[in-house]
Amino acid sequence: MQHRVFGPVRVLLGAALTRSSFRALPGPSVFREDLASGTVDPRTVPFTDKVIRAGVVVDTRDNEIDPHRGLLLEALLASGTGYTRTTAGAAVELHPFEPLVLAGRVAGEAMGGSPPLAAQQEMESSELPFLAVGGYRSLRGYHDGRFVGHGKLVGGLEARYAVLWVPSLIELRLVAFYDAGRVFGPGEAARLTTRGLHGSGGGEVAVRLLRNSLLVVGYGRGSEGGQLLFGTTWSY
């Protein structure tokens, strides 16, 4: 739940009950080895999580589904079963001229306590937690949840150019993007840094119908190969 306090400022309260499990794929498996060695606590596979979250959101975007200009700031605190999260993020859209929207995002998260693997794979946001680091919402071109740690840092830049636009009816855009991100291990402080980042880049084609429907398809490539992309929202 979110409630507007004044102007663009909202407060957020939320709760979730989730259950997660994992299984090792056939053949050699890092997950199987980590489970056997205790690196992944076997008591947390499967894992039932009870989460409460609260935060403050500043949102000046002109449209939530497909913003052309505006700023989104988030500061969130969450407490789950055996762990805590502190998350901060900022995303901005600029509209320098009619066909072009420039977008950027940076976000970081630190976890305290003993977060299980399922919780480490997610990052908080004012909408819903998303997979990080790796995947459409955090580091396109890498598998979902490719990098796992107690702390996370993600960032990105996008250029969205409209080759067809009819206001409030349809827009067809070509998108170029660059993403970067990394995780921090237990005992390592999550922080803003350019060291140890994994990067990826690619392109997308996006179609917006009316004011509340968006479809995005594309391709992203990182150091481990590439991934086809599909989304019904912008990455950020």
Model pLDDT for residues 1-55, shown as the tens digit of each residue: 999 999 999 999 999 999 999 988 888 888 899 999 988 899 899 999 999 999 9
Question: For the whole model, what pTM was predicted?
Answer: 0.91
Across the chain, the runs of DSSP E, i.e. the strands, are 2-6, 9-20, 47-59, 70-80, 83-97, 100-113, 122-123, 130-131, 151-166, 170-184, 198-209, 213-222, 225-231
How distant, in Å, are the alpha carbons of 99, 129, 205, 219 from that of 230? 23, 18, 10, 9
How many other CB atoms are there within 10 angstroms of residue 66's CB atom? 20
pLDDT in tens, 112-145: 999 999 999 999 999 989 999 999 999 999 999 9
| Structural contact between residues 180 and 197, judged by C-beta atoms closer than 8 angstroms | yes
How many other CB atoms are there within 10 angstroms of residue 76's CB atom? 22
Continuous segment of H or E residues that includes residue 66: none
Mean pLDDT score of the chain? 95
Q: Where are the domains of the chain?
A: 2-231
CATH architecture for the domain at 2-231: Beta Barrel (2.40)
| Structural contact between residues 120 and 111, judged by C-beta atoms closer than 8 angstroms | yes
Give me the mean pLDDT over the 98-102 stretch: 95
pLDDT in tens, 158-213: 999 999 989 889 999 999 999 999 999 888 999 999 999 999 999 999 999 988 89
The number of residues in the chain equals 236
How many other CB atoms are there within 10 angstroms of residue 150's CB atom? 23
**pLDDT interval class at 234 (50, 70, 90):** very high
How distant, in Å, are the alpha carbons of 88, 185, 216 from that of 56? 10, 27, 29
